């Protein structure tokens, strides 16, 4: 954005007449007979620098419009980048919050299914249930533990993604 702003200032400054000091001496005369006559050559050179903005007005206006368009495009690109960054951070925070709630729910579910598996084992030991009941209870507890581990994995990935979204990390 700073470069686009500087280009715009340079395009605006081109509208003003300029007087440049150069190392050339007499080589900018319009008439070859005046090439080596000092006052006329310098006068033509100075007049050319002062009148050039008037003669090139349309070109300078086009340059100004182009610089203004580039500045506007840079501003829009900056705003888009900023909005994307804010959106990524907000999405990351919401994702972490949702995964924390899901992990708490899965932990409660896992604990309940572990208790059910222990109860099924006790019932089997007292001959009140079949071994199939124990296996089904253990299978449910194992599935809940796997889901809990998967949710914890997604939590850690979400933390890394959030860290990356706020500017830390790697490419």
Q: pLDDT tens digits for 103-155?
A: 999 999 999 999 999 999 999 999 999 999 999 999 999 999 999 999 999 99
How confident is the model over 53-112, as pLDDT tens digits?
A: 666 778 878 888 888 888 899 899 999 999 999 999 999 999 999 999 999 999 999 999
Look at 15-19, 31-35, 41-45, 112-116 and tell me which has the smallest mean pLDDT: 41-45
Which of 13, 52, 57 shows the shortest CA–CA distance to 44? 52
Reported as type and span, the H/E element at residue 12 is helix 2-13
Is the per-residue pLDDT at 19 higher than 60?
no
- pLDDT score for 8: 76
Residues 149-162, mean pLDDT to the nearest whole number? 95
3-state secondary structure 90-132: HHHHHHHHHHHHHHHHHHHHHHHHHHHHHHHHHHHHCCCCCHH
Which of 99, 134, 95, 86 shows the shortest CA–CA distance to 114? 134
């Amino acid at each position: 954005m700073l470069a686009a702003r500087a280009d715009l200032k340079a395009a605006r400054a081109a509208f003003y007449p300029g007087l440049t000091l150069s190392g050339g001496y007499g080589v900018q005369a319009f008439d070859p007979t005046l090439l080596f006559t000092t006052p006329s050559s310098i006068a033509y050179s100075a007049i050319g620098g002062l009148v050039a903005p008037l003669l090139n007005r349309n070109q300078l206006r086009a340059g100004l419009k182009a610089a203004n368009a580039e500045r506007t495009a840079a501003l829009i690109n900056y705003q888009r980048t900023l909005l994307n960054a804010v959106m990524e951070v907000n999405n990351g925070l919401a994702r972490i919050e949702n995964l924390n709630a899901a992990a708490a729910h899965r932990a409660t579910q896992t604990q309940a299914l572990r208790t059910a598996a222990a109860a099924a084992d006790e019932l089997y030991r007292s001959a009140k249930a079949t071994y199939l009941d124990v296996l089904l209870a253990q299978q449910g507890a194992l599935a809940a533990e796997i889901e809990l581990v998967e949710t914890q994995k997604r939590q850690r990935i979400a933390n890394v993604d959030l860290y990356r979204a706020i500017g830390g990390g790697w490419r």
